Structure 1
Amino acid sequence: MEFQAIIMAAGRGSRMSDLTSCMPKALLPVANRPLVWYPVNMLETSGFSEATIVVCETDLQSILKTLEQICDVKIKLHFVSIPYEEDWGTLDSLRHIADQIKSDLLVVSCDLICSVQLHQMADLHRTRDAALTMLLAPSPDVSEASVPGGKANRKVEHDVVGLSPDNRLLFISSEADLEQTLTFKHSFLKKFPMVRLKNRVMDAHLYFMKRSLLDHACDGALSTSTTIKGEFIPHLVRRQFRRRHCAKDQDQSLNMTADVRQDGGENEDGFSRLVQEYSTHPNDSASMRDCFHGDRMKCYAIMVKDELCVRVNTLVSYCEANRQMAKELARVGVLDEPLVAPSVQIPSKSTVGADSLMAEGSSVGERSGIKRSVIGKHCVIGDHVKITNCIIMNHVTIEEGSTLSGTVVCSEARLGAKCELKDCLVTGGQSVIGKSTNEVIVNLEQLMEVE
């Protein structure tokens, strides 16, 4: 096996705790499929025969049962649990299973929904003899997205990256950590005379890595680092340019100002001109190959173009993913499955829009209408109910005359007759009556346990 696949599914969903208070983040339903199914399916359709899933010990049985019994996954899955009491990051989890990893590896988060062809990334990783190859995507624009509860943080974490013409990863930083001025050494600019500086970039949390990086992660210098994205990768990118010999560095640093927070995907022209001005290397492919010659460690990145790439790590992105995947299932290999399960009975005077999904075992009453919504399994929808732009999870009862818009209703909830909810979030097992707008209706005891 050339690459050993590792799915990170132990995260607790701290930025969407209203949703994860009653179920693991990995099992949150997106288009009526558990979130973790998407990376598992991506690996399976890409030819992987097995994968390791890292889970929290308290979630092991529920995730195992869902994937093996409900989702009919064909790929062989190995589960590794980590202690619930430990607040481990992704790099901690990799160290925990390092002795089980015998080859180069592919690490992917359980919250990634992606249609990228993995063999293309693997080809780049091999041909460039890269230590690391990571997937990047344009940051989503959620400024106009409706958010259940009304108070959810719409802020998206942007990264700023610097790439060479052949996608060598030369620089990476969270946009929030940057000042207006970036400083690069003269030697760096001589070696890389053309740099594309991109802002509003999202790290997709999909990485091809050499096995030797795990040994490096266990070194004393990195023993306190806990995350792949926030600490390990920036360290690797910087390490690319470490000199072989400890000669005295007499290079002068150059201060270059670039507005990394302005809208748009790239800030290239002015930056590249400054680089060329201070560079003694001609800008041609032969000299670029010479520049790369002799590097001990090389990091590369692939930027998503037209492929589907969504991360589900906030309430905003969760809602957007459900809206998008209701129309995009074919892009992740779901081709022949009907949008409305055959077992669903729809009365002649009720309607379910072509932009909605309904899972098996659910029922719709007389003169009800469902638009742009996802309805889970075994839901009971009464007469004269109107549902628009909503996510209804499994085993939910909505009594007659109710109207729901822009609302998420978690499993086992019950909405009373003539209930009206607009842009609300109802957590699992709640009973709701009356009218509400922009509210989170939550079991406080469950939420306190999660936090």
Structure 2
Amino acid sequence: MRIEYNGEILEFNSPVSGNSPVLELLLTPCVTLYQFICHNRSVFTVDMEFQPIIMAAGPGSRLAELTSKCPKAALLIGNRPMVWYPINMLEKAGFEEAIIIVDMDGQAEIQRVLTESCSVKLHLEYVTVSNTDDGTADVLREIKSKIKTDLLIIPCDLITDISLHNIANLHRTHDASLTMLLSSLPSQFYESVAPGARSKKPLEKDFFGFDEKRERILFTQSEADVAENISVKKSIFKKHPYMCVKSGLTDCHLYLMKKWVVDYLVENESLAYIRTELVPHLVRKQFSKTKVKDRLPQTNQSVISENQKMDILKFSTEDEYAADIRDLSSWNDHHGDMADCYHGDKIRCYGYIQEGGLCLRTNTVSSYSEANRQIQKIFTHTGIETPHLHPSVVLQKKSQVGADCVVAEGTEIGEKVSIKRSVIGRNCKIGDHVQIVNSTLLDNVIVEDGCDIKGSIISRKSVIHQKCEITNCLVGPGQQLNTMGKYKDEMIVYTVDI
């Protein structure tokens, strides 16, 4: 089927029959052509409709014990660097290039691990930030000259099997200013106790208020900011009398964002962080109106000399056809009144809720450890084919390595060794009669004879001497643990040169 609009030819492969969406489009005036086109797009345009930006400069404050000698983005999950998972997601979606934000000290290490441990087809433009203490919104201001189109912002610690086309289609359909990915965090990722901790930390919750379709975000508040009651303006209830409030969702820090938002950030330097400052700001500004003083002509001031800060509504721009199509259509996003589509709101924020599948952030010791324990499940969900034993692994007789494990190249495993639900890094040496369960060993770790390691993380170049018992511990880089030592619920992190 071919449709011509403003000189452009649009083609659809859907047959016109019975209950086809094309027939519904032709017969039902309540669906706009613009939305139909958006919902039926399955590829990203070659001319970079969205410009991917991977945030990989953060110091990893909640992974500090693991990142003292290694940038967060280079930490290994299933023997692949953390940042590789969002890169792989972009490649599968059809992107050919992306900007990756790194700090000056971490760039070389990130490039090294990506080159050594996996194949990357995506062209990566590394951009270094001058100050690692800058917030994510500060970073967007710093790289504003490189931003040419709307943005797709992804954190380096996100692992998900979501199809990016689904969230992009929601963004396109409503010509949204901001669309964010939300997900219910699997219970095992927040119920497990982190290695080195004696008790689990309480989960930080956010409250999201949605419209009746559970798509548009009407308000957002963190649990820490809520005393007893959640307050919502009456004006919002007048527009949206049916509201759904959800508290079990995790903000995955994946955002689709209009380019004009960056232009607004450049003029408003008070906003430093995307999640905690920019997102709530945009959600609130959805319901603001142009100020009277901005609508009145400046009689005592020339246009040339005017230098006042512009209101956010003057930055927001719409798709060139979207407004015209909505005016011609009888479609509306709500019912119960005769108000214009979206109640005339120029700024619109949406949330795509991933109900099933895999979606998690490895930004804490607990989630990082659990991701490695469940690495084979992650590989299955994300379509990654990796043998659980690398062909170069030396495995002595009567040793067992479970199918839910991953052992990297160059590792030597002694006799009568048992390894279950664990990840073993490159060039590790494991002695005889060793048991390793629910644990992660990073590269170049030495485990001598008779050791028992459970629920722990052993960082690179550490040496575990004979008959050590380690339970629920985090061992930092380059540590030496004593012969016959017994360690439980400990953070073993001392400053050493490795």
Instruction: Find the aligned partners of 2:78 and 2:140 in 1 and give their Cα distance.
Output: 30
Q: Which has the higher contact order (CA 8 A, sep 6+)?
A: 1
Is the CA contact (8 Å cut-off) linking 1:149 and 1:439 kept in structure 2? yes
Deviation at 1:324, TM superposition (A): 2.3
2:241 — aligned with what? 193
Deviation at 1:69, TM superposition (A): 4.5
1:278 — aligned with what? none
Change (3 A) 1:158 1:73: same
Deviation at 1:151, TM superposition (A): 4.2
Change (3 A) 1:183 1:440: closer
1:325 — aligned with what? 375
Whether 1:307 aligns to 2:357 is yes
1:111-168, CA deviations, whole angstroms, 9 ceiling, x for partnerless residues?
1111111011111111101010000112454564132112476232211000113301
What is the aligned counterpart of 1:383 among 409, 420, 432? Answer: 432
2:75 — aligned with what? 28
Instruction: Find the aligned partners of 1:154 and 1:245 in 2 and give their Cα distance.
Output: 45
What is the aligned counterpart of 1:14 among 48, 61, 70? Answer: 61
Deviation at 1:50, TM superposition (A): 0.4
Instruction: Find the aligned partners of 2:381 and 2:107 in 1 and give their Cα distance.
Output: 29
Matches within 5 A, 1:49-448: 49-84=96-131, 86-141=132-187, 142=189, 144-151=191-198, 154-166=201-213, 167-219=215-267, 222-244=268-290, 246=292, 285=335, 287=337, 290=340, 292-335=342-385, 337-433=386-482, 434-444=485-495
Is the CA contact (8 Å cut-off) linking 1:152 and 1:315 kept in structure 2? no
Deviation at 1:405, TM superposition (A): 0.7
Query: Which AA in structure 1 matches 2:421?
Result: R
Query: Which AA in structure 2 matches 1:408?
Result: I
1:163-201, CA deviations, whole angstroms, 9 ceiling, x for partnerless residues?
113301111111111122222233211111211100122
Change (3 A) 1:143 1:187: closer
**For 2:487, what is the secondary structure of its paired residue?**
strand
Deviation at 1:423, TM superposition (A): 0.9
Query: Which ranges of structure 1 fall in alignment gaps of 5 or more residues?
Result: 248-282, 447-451
Change (3 A) 1:66 1:284: closer
Instruction: Find the aligned partners of 1:373 and 1:159 in 2 and give their Cα distance.
Output: 32
**For 2:230, what is the secondary structure of its paired residue?**
strand
Instruction: Find the aligned partners of 1:153 and 1:406 in 2 and give their Cα distance.
Output: 14
Is the CA contact (8 Å cut-off) linking 1:146 and 1:406 kept in structure 2? no
C-alpha RMSD of the superposition = 2.0
1:271-328, CA deviations, whole angstroms, 9 ceiling, x for partnerless residues?
xxxxxxxxxxxx9647497451421110100111112111111111111111222322
Is the CA contact (8 Å cut-off) linking 2:456 and 2:472 kept in structure 1? yes
Instruction: Find the aligned partners of 2:176 and 2:384 in 1 and give their Cα distance.
Output: 33
Is the CA contact (8 Å cut-off) linking 1:135 and 1:301 kept in structure 2? yes
Change (3 A) 1:56 1:289: farther
1:268 — aligned with what? none
Structure 1 window deviating more from structure 2 (16-25 vs 325-334): it is 325-334
Is the CA contact (8 Å cut-off) linking 2:152 and 2:254 kept in structure 1? yes
Matched residue count: 408
1:190-243, CA deviations, whole angstroms, 9 ceiling, x for partnerless residues?
111211100122110000001010011112xx3122100000000000000002
1:78-134, CA deviations, whole angstroms, 9 ceiling, x for partnerless residues?
0000125x5101011111111101001100100111111101111111110101000
Is the CA contact (8 Å cut-off) linking 1:371 and 1:389 kept in structure 2? yes
**For 1:99, what is the secondary structure of its paired residue?**
helix
**For 1:155, what is the secondary structure of its paired residue?**
coil
Deviation at 1:66, TM superposition (A): 2.1
Change (3 A) 1:162 1:224: same
Deviation at 1:438, TM superposition (A): 1.2
Structure 1 window deviating more from structure 2 (35-44 vs 348-357): it is 348-357
Question: What's the % identity of the aligned pairs?
Answer: 44
Query: Which ranges of structure 2 fall in alignment gaps of 5 or more residues?
Result: 1-47, 294-332
Is the CA contact (8 Å cut-off) linking 1:139 and 1:156 kept in structure 2? no
TM-score (norm 1): 0.86
Change (3 A) 1:287 1:113: farther
Deviation at 1:374, TM superposition (A): 0.7
Change (3 A) 1:284 1:132: closer
TM-score (norm 2): 0.78
